[in-house]
Structures are given as structure tokens and as C-alpha cells.
Amino acid sequence: EVQLVESGGGLVKPGGSLRLSCAASGLTFSDAWMNWVRQAPGKGLEWVGRIKSKNDGVTTDYTAPVKGRFTISRDDSKNTLYLQMTSLKTEDTAVYYCATAGGFSGSPWNFQYWGQGTLLTVSS
Amino acid sequence: QAVVTQEPSLTVSPGGTVTLTCGSSTGAVTSGHYPYWIQQKPGQAPRTLIYDTSNKHSWTPARFSGSLLGGKAALTLSGAQPEDEAEYYCLLSYSGPYVFGAGTKVTVL
């Protein structure tokens, strides 16, 4: 059974930094591409970004509002995905989910499994 | 960035049928957008029901189906059940980046 468990959320002041983690089990993590998705309180889902596997170059894509501020990385030895967030703004306040991604756009792995999310609050 | 449009809310009677649609500001939604439909109930994590327009996961109830309809992606719920009351999000791929719609609140009443 695939399980994704996010952690690292909390309260951060505007301009601050934080790193979220997503621990994965039940899948061959080193082969997996992974997504981050967020949801502001009472709002809809927003795709944050994606990282490919080492075999596919560990390349990353991001949504425009976070480019240059957020960095997705992975440690395959720990089966863990990361989201490093800097220059945080109040509008980054959200529940952050990790979700699986596939190696091609129509892959069933895309958004097939989701974690339960971790809450980031950016406030002074 | 493209904007994905969905109906804000829809109501369906128990046992009834309802169709949710998903449009794109860039033009017609095609199979090349690989439409996804994601269900979210209050306080729960999202759950993907449909991927790549019409494909179902093992947990997707048979009463849900995905299609392309009139230049949009569509999710049809046939034989609605009380437990289907939820927010439904459409997700489209734009050659790499993904964009979610704002969601459709489905009420079973």
C-alpha cells in the first residue's frame, strides 16, 4: 500500500523559510516522479510543482507564483520528498500535499496517491 | 497561465444524474490535456477519480464516468448517492505544468 506522510508545517513570519517533507512508502520511490499541491484555507487546489526521478534527470517544474522561491528536491536513500520554501508570503498559507506523479502526462500514477497534508501558516 | 473553468455548484437528486464540465481559457479541452477529476470531501485529502479523460482507478465507483463533451472535459455522475456530496476539481495538463479548476460543489438533495 502506498503511503505518503507530510511533515514540517508550522507558523512562519513573512519573509521566513521552511522545509516540508513527504515520507513515502509502498512504492519504488527512486523511480517515482512526485508533485506538491497546496490548498489555501477555504480555497481550491493549486499545483505547486513536480520533480522527476534521477533516471529522468531530477528536473523540476513550478507554478509561476512560487518560481524562484520554492525548491523541490528528493533524497532517494530516505524515500523522502522535500519542498524548501523561502521568502514566504501570507498568501503561501495553505495545506501542502504531496502526490505521486507519472512518467508521462496520461500516466495513472499522476495524482494517484495523496498524503494527508501539512499546514503552513505565514503570519506576523 | 491558463484558467480552467468549472461550474461553482450543482445540485442533484439522490439517484439522479449530473454532469460537471471543465473548460480552458486557451480553447477546447482535448485528450492532450489529459483531464483529471479529483474529489474532495470536507476535512479530507483529495482523491483522484478519473485520469486521462476517462480512465478510472480501482476505487472509482462505476457511477462516475469521464468524457470530452463540446470542447470541454466532463464528469458524469449517474445514480448519485448521498456520499457523493463533495467538491470536484478538474485538473488539466498544459505540456508540463498543471492547472486546477476552482472546483464544483456538488450537493445531493
Q: Categorize the per-residue pLDDT at A37 as very low, low, confident or very high, splitting at 50, 70 and 90.
A: very high
pLDDT classification of A106: cutoffs 50, 70, 90: confident
Phi, psi angle pair for B99, to nearest 5°: -135, 130
Which residue in A has a C-alpha nearest to residue B46's C-alpha? Answer: A114
DSSP string, B28-89: ---GGG--EEEEE-TTS--EEEEETTTEE-TTS-TTEEEEEETTEEEEEEES--GGG-EEEE
pLDDT of residue A104 exceeding 90, the answer is no
Whether B89 sits inside 8 A of A46 (CB atoms) is no
pLDDT band at A103 (very low <50, low <70, confident <90, very high): confident
pLDDT band at A24 (very low <50, low <70, confident <90, very high): very high
**Percent of chain A surpassing pLDDT 70:** 100
Q: Which of B1, B55, B101 sits opposite A64 (nearest CB)?
A: B1
Q: Do A116 and B98 touch (CB under 8 A)?
A: no
Cross-chain CB nearest to B57 (options A35, A112, A116) = A112
Question: How many CB atoms sit inside 10 A of residue A95's CB?
Answer: 20
Distance CA B40, CA A6 (A): 18
pLDDT the model gives residue B87 = 98
Q: What is the pLDDT of residue B1?
A: 87
Residue A105, pLDDT above cutoff 90: no
- Mean pLDDT score of chain A: 96
Q: Is B10 on the interface with A (CB under 8 A)?
A: no
Mean pLDDT of A73-82: 98
Please name the residue of chain B whose CA is at the shortest distance from the CA of residue A115.
B45
Separation between Cα atoms, residue B99 and residue B95, nearest integer Å: 11
| Residue A82 CB partners (closer than 8 Å, separation 6+) | A19, A20, A21, A22, A72, A73, A74, A75
**Which residues on B lie below 8 Å from A117 (Cβ)?**
45
Low-confidence ranges of chain B (pLDDT < 70): none
User: How many beta-carbon pairs below 8 A join chains A and B?
Assistant: 63
Res A14: pLDDT = 98
Chain A contact present for B38, CB below 8 A: yes
Residue A67 CA to residue A64 CA, distance in Å, equals 5
Average pLDDT over residues A32-48: 97
Separation of alpha carbons A71 and A21, rounded Å: 12
Among residues B72, B73, B47, the alpha carbon closest in space to that of B60 is found at: B47
Band the pLDDT of A62: cuts 50, 70, 90.
very high
